[in-house]
Structure 1
Amino acid sequence: MARNQWAGLEQDLAGASNSPLNILIARDEDIERASRSMKAMSHPLRLKILCMLGDRECSVQDIVEQVGTSQSNISQHLAILRDKGILMCRKDANRVYYRVGDARTLRLIEMMQDVFCTRNL
């Protein structure tokens, strides 16, 4: 981006002091939390798990079968997503089920798909 384009962007940001982005920037703990969550979602296998889950609830075994790697590998990645609050889980007898914990996370994933994924028409 050329310098004069940056100047315009800086003016736009300065004039929008109540914009959601400026509010986020003002709170370091929010920036840190968002950064940790985005980092957790950015791993290719974890992103694949999130895309596969969508708005459904699936057992660990279902995730293993659909993603195509070992159960121990999937379990490690599920734990990271769960610990960051991205996934929720519940136990039913000897099965563990996972789902995306917040519908806004699904919207974020959908936006990433729209921006970065090619579609065959």
Structure 2
Amino acid sequence: MLKVDIDTKMKFLQGFSHKTRVQILESIKEEEKTVSQIVEELEGNQSNISQHLACLRGCGLIVGRQEGKYVHYRVRNQLVRDLLTMFDVVLEDVHKDIACCDSHID
């Protein structure tokens, strides 16, 4: 198995470190959507959503498919979908501890 350095891991995890990015991932977890569809679903603005989509692409979590003038975004693959599901499974177990955590160290 490829050994991944800690900086690469941190860049990957950064994709999950913002509420809007997690909302986008959940929005496209099961089906691809255009920026307009994501903006409408999240009730956000296109510029902000587009910036977060660029981050998610840069982190390797999503891919885009051009169709005419629209780009359709989807979660990269089943492994990323499984990871999102695993987050939910783990969070069910630790949610009480997380709720009590008010110290975040950078």
TM-score, normalising length: structure 1: 0.68
Does residue 69 of the first structure (1) align with residue 79 of the second (2)?
no
CA distance in 1 between counterparts of 2:87 and 2:4 reads 24
Matches within 5 A, 1:80-95: 80-95=55-70
Structure 1 unaligned spans of 5+: 1-22
Structure holding more helix per residue: 1
Q: Cα 1:34–1:95, aligned 2, differ >3 Å: closer, same or farther?
A: same
Q: Percent identity?
A: 34
Task: Tell me: higher relative CO, structure 1 or 2? Use CA pairs within 8 A at least 6 residues apart.
Answer: 2
Q: Cα 1:28–1:105, aligned 2, differ >3 Å: closer, same or farther?
A: closer
Shift of 1:43: 1.0
Supply the RMSD in Å over aligned alpha carbons. 1.9
- Indicate which of 3, 7, 19 corresponds to 1:44: 19
CA distance in 2 between counterparts of 1:86 and 1:61 reads 19
Q: Which residue in the other structure is 1:32 paired with?
A: 7
CA distance in 2 between counterparts of 1:99 and 1:79 reads 13
Extract structure 1 runs of 4+ deviating beyond 4 A: none
Amino acid of the structure 1 residue aligned with 2:83: L
Amino acid of the structure 2 residue aligned with 1:44: K
- The alignment of Structure 1 onto Structure 2 pairs a total of residues equal to 93
Instruction: Find the structure with the greater CA-based Rg.
Output: 1
TM-score, normalising length: structure 2: 0.77
Structure 2 unaligned spans of 5+: 96-106
